[in-house]
């Protein structure tokens, strides 16, 4: 088995163990009062928990591959030129006699000595020899440097290095295998286990080769190295180092098989682009961590009730990596430990301590001596529920349908932060993207690492064994804690709709600055202003809406001629809306409201673009007579269109801040309400078409607007809007 566990303090700045609790007390800050007494919680004895792997999983990973003592000559499966002999490896795959599925237990036992032989071989090579034999076969992964890093660590492994390199290796390998999958099919599977079970990869590499991979990283019945690491179950140095070596050699072999396939089919492997983060300002939540605060964090790691003693080296490594500006590596180490800490808190507050560890699995072990079959099955989980992960930890209910008590302990701000950074589909989804190899590790943003580490430090301070989270005004943690306590979601659909509305209002207000008709030219005859004015003044509808505004807010007088102020919309959008665990009806309505907002913004973009283009053409005298007339119709039409779009945006916002009232509607009323919203959506989609440069149908736009205003007023008069119900 690999080296024993121990804390790696090499490369750390200072000695956290020599700092006193008073130093921490001086540096902590007041946290928002939780909904329950966090100090009454009784946590596990940290020294009693040395592993978060259940007995059978621990046996599978840490012992089974060492039972068979045999020496395999390295040239039986790795040639002198670095070619991998898959035939030798595949001979160690065992299958069940009943259904021909992989017998994972006996396969791991059989592969153990082979892995050891490969590990010793790699340790015997110099970096130059390793590069000469193997580096060309890593190029298909687009991450050759990761495998060179793994090799370097294999020569001299330290406390957490193997685990970090394995997490990077498995995510890189998954991404590369997904690229290979796309040689044949589209829509690569999201889950690694589904990818490895696909017929597409079997066609390219062969089914026995895929069975080998599934033993190491693709099945919960096998070693499952990827998942137990990325979900924070493995302790430092708990994973035998020889499995890292074997995965390096298997990647070489896959590269050689792929090369043969590409030559045979005359294909070319195309790598998908990495995910990029568009707006780092939204992800830079906390002030930058100072060196003093990082020193303080070391003490908090030791004193926190939610950090198991066995996991402390990971936390210390994360701090060290942040100091070294290795932000991707810092987050890769940190995320599984944040999940592990929250899992400990989750199991404590929900009184389900057995969920701290991986579940037992069906394990069929055939002893070589007496052919005796041994079975084990968890009494807590079904076989399909092997882990308690972020999905369960942050959910509304625990598996037995009881309410999850963790949100009430963490508070809304902390929950919104976690959902924003980890779960929301339009958020950064850091763990998903990193674990699936979708982010370039060389360009990982400091802003994200700073936010995640700052949040984690605040969390550790809240759950200190010494109850030292009470703070003084001058505490080092004060800015971080204030940010954590005041955090509001940026990526929930409701939060995104608020931002969308404000941006759209700002954009429509730009219409006031559009250039006027040159030389004051006007059209005469039947096409005067009155002919294109809607029959229903928007001011009438604005007056109907005004009564539903908060008392401290008022629409500008004569809204048909005055722009809705951006300040007013900011005030409206600042009204709090509950976003945690929104009912399905709330999310469905939000989706439609967002679609309406998108169409309004598109109309605004088209109006501005067309106005600017036609104005320049007019100045350059390149407009034909018909085009000039159309431009003048556009200019008059937008005087009506602007307040109508603003009215729609105001209605969207008022509905949004009262959106939970939709839950009070019965099914019939709910469907009627949805139909009304979809009528507005249809109107905005139509005017997107009519105001496009290709159509330029301004008279038709006003006709549609007239009909839409009638429907809006009618619905308002029926008192069926959410803002009216809430009122």
Angle at CA 712, nearest 5°, toward 710 and 717? 95
Q: Residues 111, 185: one domain?
A: yes
Q: Residues 206, 334: one domain?
A: no
Phi, psi of 275 (to 5 degrees): -70, 140
- Do 234 and 163 contact (CB within 8 A), yes or no? yes
Q: Residues 310, 449: one domain?
A: yes
The answer to the question of residue 398 being in a domain is no
CA terminus-to-terminus distance, the chain: 68
The pLDDT value recorded for residue 523 is 47
Joined together, the tokens standing for residue 603 give 């109309």
pLDDT tens-digit profile of 189-226?
999 999 999 999 999 999 999 999 999 998 999 999 99
The pLDDT value recorded for residue 368 is 42
Output DSSP code: residue 494.
H
The pLDDT value recorded for residue 36 is 53
The answer to the question of residue 12 being in a domain is no
d(CA 500, CA 555): 20
d(CA 687, CA 691): 6
Q: Residues 527, 436: one domain?
A: no
Question: Per-residue pLDDT for 326 more than 70?
Answer: yes
- Do 141 and 172 contact (CB within 8 A), yes or no? yes
The pLDDT value recorded for residue 378 is 34
- Do 196 and 216 contact (CB within 8 A), yes or no? no
Average pLDDT over residues 337-357: 93
Read off the pLDDT band of 556 (50, 70, 90). Answer: low
Angle at CA 275, nearest 5°, toward 274 and 281? 135
Give 521 or 445, the one with higher predicted confidence.
445
Q: Residues 546, 663: one domain?
A: yes
- Do 293 and 29 contact (CB within 8 A), yes or no? no
Question: Per-residue pLDDT for 276 more than 70?
Answer: yes
The pLDDT value recorded for residue 40 is 57
Question: Per-residue pLDDT for 525 more than 60?
Answer: no
Question: Per-residue pLDDT for 6 more than 60?
Answer: no
pLDDT tens-digit profile of 51-74?
899 999 999 999 999 999 888 999
Helix (H) or strand (E) holding 89: helix 86-90
Which DSSP string do the residues of 555-612 spell out, in sequence order? Answer: PPSSTTTSPPPHHHHHHHHTS----TT--HHHHHHHHHHHHHHHHHHHHHHHHHHHHH
Q: Residues 338, 306: one domain?
A: yes
The pLDDT value recorded for residue 482 is 93
Percent of the chain past pLDDT 90, that is, above it, reads: 64
Which DSSP string do the residues of 415-452 spell out, in sequence order? Answer: HHHHIIIII-TTS--HHHHHHTT-S-GGG--HHHHHHH
Question: Per-residue pLDDT for 706 more than 60?
Answer: yes
Which DSSP string do the residues of 244-289 spell out, in sequence order? Answer: HHHHHHHHHHHHHHHHHHHHHHT----PPPPP--S-HHHH--SPPP
The answer to the question of residue 368 being in a domain is no
Read off the pLDDT band of 385 (50, 70, 90). Answer: low
Q: Residues 313, 227: one domain?
A: no
Residue 112: domain span: 55-265
* Rg for the chain, CA atoms, rounded: 31
52-61, 314-323, 374-383, 584-593: segment of lowest average pLDDT:
374-383
d(CA 559, CA 645): 12
Compute CA 699 distance to the chain's CA centroid, rounded to the nearest angstrom: 46
Give 550 or 381, the one with higher predicted confidence.
550
The answer to the question of residue 313 being in a domain is yes
24-33, 325-334, 492-501: segment of lowest average pLDDT:
24-33
- Residue in this structure with the two tokens 């998903």, named with its chain if needed: 432
- Residue in this structure with the two tokens 């017998």, named with its chain if needed: 103
d(CA 385, CA 535): 62
Q: Residues 502, 626: one domain?
A: yes
Give 32 or 660, the one with higher predicted confidence.
660
Is the entire prediction scored with pTM above 0.85?
yes
Helix/strand/coil percentages in the chain, nearest 5:
60, 0, 35
In order of 51, 155, 161, 442, 450, the CA distances from 168 in angstroms are 22, 18, 11, 12, 20
Percent of the chain past pLDDT 70, that is, above it, reads: 84
- Do 201 and 211 contact (CB within 8 A), yes or no? no
* Packing angle of the helix pair 144-155, 161-181 (nearest 10 deg): 150
Joined together, the tokens standing for residue 641 give 């269109």
pLDDT tens-digit profile of 423-436?
999 999 999 999 99
Give 377 or 156, the one with higher predicted confidence.
156
Query: Which of 447, 221, 510 is CA-nearest to residue 211?
Result: 221
Domain final residue, candidates 486, 502, 527: 486
Q: 177-208 b/e with 16+ CB inside 10 Å = b?
A: bbbbbebeeeebbeebeebbbbebbeebbeeb
Q: Residues 190, 69: one domain?
A: yes
The answer to the question of residue 7 being in a domain is no
Average pLDDT over residues 173-185: 97
- Do 104 and 215 contact (CB within 8 A), yes or no? yes
Pairing state of beta strands 373-374 and 365-366?
A: antiparallel
The pLDDT value recorded for residue 99 is 83
- Do 721 and 661 contact (CB within 8 A), yes or no? no
Q: Mean pLDDT in the chain?
A: 85
Residues in the chain: 727
Phi, psi of 84 (to 5 degrees): -90, 130
Question: Per-residue pLDDT for 674 more than 70?
Answer: yes
The answer to the question of residue 32 being in a domain is yes
The answer to the question of residue 2 being in a domain is no
Give 68 or 549, the one with higher predicted confidence.
68
Q: Residues 607, 536: one domain?
A: yes
13-27, 230-244, 561-575: segment of lowest average pLDDT:
13-27
Q: Coil, strand, or helix at residue 373?
A: strand
Q: Structural domain tally of the chain?
A: 3
pLDDT tens-digit profile of 37-56?
554 566 766 667 788 999 99
Domain final residue, candidates 439, 460, 486: 486
The pLDDT value recorded for residue 518 is 65
The pLDDT value recorded for residue 534 is 47
The answer to the question of residue 390 being in a domain is no
Domain final residue, candidates 486, 511, 529: 486
Class of residue 526 by CB neighbours under 10 A (exposed 0-12, middle 13-18, buried 19+): exposed
Q: Residues 533, 607: one domain?
A: yes
Question: Per-residue pLDDT for 30 more than 50?
Answer: no
The pLDDT value recorded for residue 33 is 43
Q: Residues 537, 453: one domain?
A: no
Read off the pLDDT band of 660 (50, 70, 90). Answer: very high
């Amino acid at each position: 088995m690999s080296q024993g566990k121990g804390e790696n303090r090499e490369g750390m700045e200072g000695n956290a163990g020599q700092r006193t609790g008073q130093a921490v007390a001086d540096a902590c800050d007041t946290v928002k009062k939780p909904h329950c007494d966090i100090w009454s919680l009784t946590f596990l004895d940290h020294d009693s928990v040395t592993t978060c792997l259940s007995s059978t999983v621990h046996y599978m990973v840490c012992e089974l591959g060492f039972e068979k003592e045999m020496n395999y000559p390295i040239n039986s499966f790795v040639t002198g030129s670095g070619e991998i002999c898959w035939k030798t490896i595949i001979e160690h795959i065992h299958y069940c006699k009943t259904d021909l599925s992989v017998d994972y237990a006996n396969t791991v036992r059989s592969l153990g000595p082979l892995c050891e032989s490969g590990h010793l071989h790699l340790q015997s090579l110099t970096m130059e020899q390793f590069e000469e034999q193997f580096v060309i076969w890593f190029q298909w992964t687009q991450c050759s440097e990761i495998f060179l890093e793994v090799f370097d660590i294999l020569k001299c492994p330290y406390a957490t290095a193997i685990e970090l390199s394995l997490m990077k290796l498995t995510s890189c390998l998954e991404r590369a295998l997904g690229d290979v999958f796309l040689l044949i099919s589209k829509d690569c599977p999201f889950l690694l286990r589904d990818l490895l079970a696909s017929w597409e990869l079997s066609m390219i590499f062969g089914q026995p080769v895929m069975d080998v991979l599934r033993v190491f990283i693709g099945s919960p019945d096998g070693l499952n190295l990827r998942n137990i690491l990325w979900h924070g179950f493995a302790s430092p140095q708990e994973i035998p180092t020889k499995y890292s070596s074997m995965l390096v050699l298997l990647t070489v072999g896959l590269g050689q098989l792929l090369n043969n396939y590409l030559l045979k089919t005359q294909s070319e492997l195309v790598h998908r682009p990495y995910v990029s983060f568009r707006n780092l300002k939204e992800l830079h939540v906390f002030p930058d961590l100072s060196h003093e605060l990082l020193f303080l964090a070391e003490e908090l790691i030791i004193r926190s009730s939610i950090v198991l003693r066995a996991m402390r080296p990971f936390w210390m490594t994360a701090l060290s990596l942040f100091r070294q500006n290795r932000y991707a590596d810092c987050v890769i180490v940190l995320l599984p430990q944040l999940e592990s800490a929250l899992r400990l808190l989750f199991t404590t507050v929900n009184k389900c301590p057995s969920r701290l560890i991986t579940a037992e699995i069906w394990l069929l072990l055939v002893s070589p001596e007496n052919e005796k079959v041994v079975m084990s099955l968890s009494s807590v989980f079904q076989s399909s529920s092997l882990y308690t992960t972020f999905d369960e930890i942050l959910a509304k209910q625990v598996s037995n349908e009881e309410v999850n008590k963790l949100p009430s302990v963490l508070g809304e701000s902390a929950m919104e932060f976690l959902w924003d950074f980890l779960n929301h589909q339009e958020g950064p989804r850091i763990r998903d993207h990193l674990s699936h190899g979708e982010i370039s590790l060389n360009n990982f943003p400091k802003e994200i690492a700073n936010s995640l580490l700052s949040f984690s430090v605040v969390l550790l301070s809240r759950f200190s064994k010494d109850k030292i989270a009470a703070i003084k005004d001058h505490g080092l943690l004060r800015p971080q804690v204030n940010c954590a306590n005041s955090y509001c979601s940026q990526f929930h659909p409701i939060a995104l709709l608020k931002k969308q509305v404000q941006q759209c209002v700002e954009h429509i207000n730009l219409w006031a600055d559009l250039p006027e008709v040159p030389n004051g030219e006007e059209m005469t005859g039947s096409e005067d202003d009155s002919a294109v004015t809607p029959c229903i003044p928007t001011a009438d509808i604005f007056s109907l809406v005004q009564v539903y505004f908060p008392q401290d807010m008022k629409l500008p007088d004569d809204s048909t001629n005055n722009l809705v102020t951006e300040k007013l919309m900011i005030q409206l959008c600042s009204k709090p809306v509950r976003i945690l665990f929104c009912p399905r009806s709330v999310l469905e309505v939000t989706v439609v409201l967002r679609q309406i907002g998108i169409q309004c913004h598109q109309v605004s973009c088209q109006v501005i673009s067309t106005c600017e283009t036609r104005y320049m053409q007019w100045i350059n005298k390149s407009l034909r007579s018909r085009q000039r007339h159309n431009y003048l119709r556009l200019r008059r039409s937008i005087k009506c269109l602007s307040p109508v779009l603003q009215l729609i945006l105001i209605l969207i916002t008022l509905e949004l801040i009262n959106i939970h009232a939709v839950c009070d509607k019965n099914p019939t009323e709910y469907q009627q309400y949805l139909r009304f919203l979809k009528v507005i959506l249809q109107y905005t989609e139509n005017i997107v078409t009519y105001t496009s440069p290709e159509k330029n149908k301004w008279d038709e736009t006003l006709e549609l607007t007239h009909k839409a205003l009638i429907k809006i007023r009618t619905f308002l008069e029926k008192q069926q809007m959410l803002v009216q119900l809430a009122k």
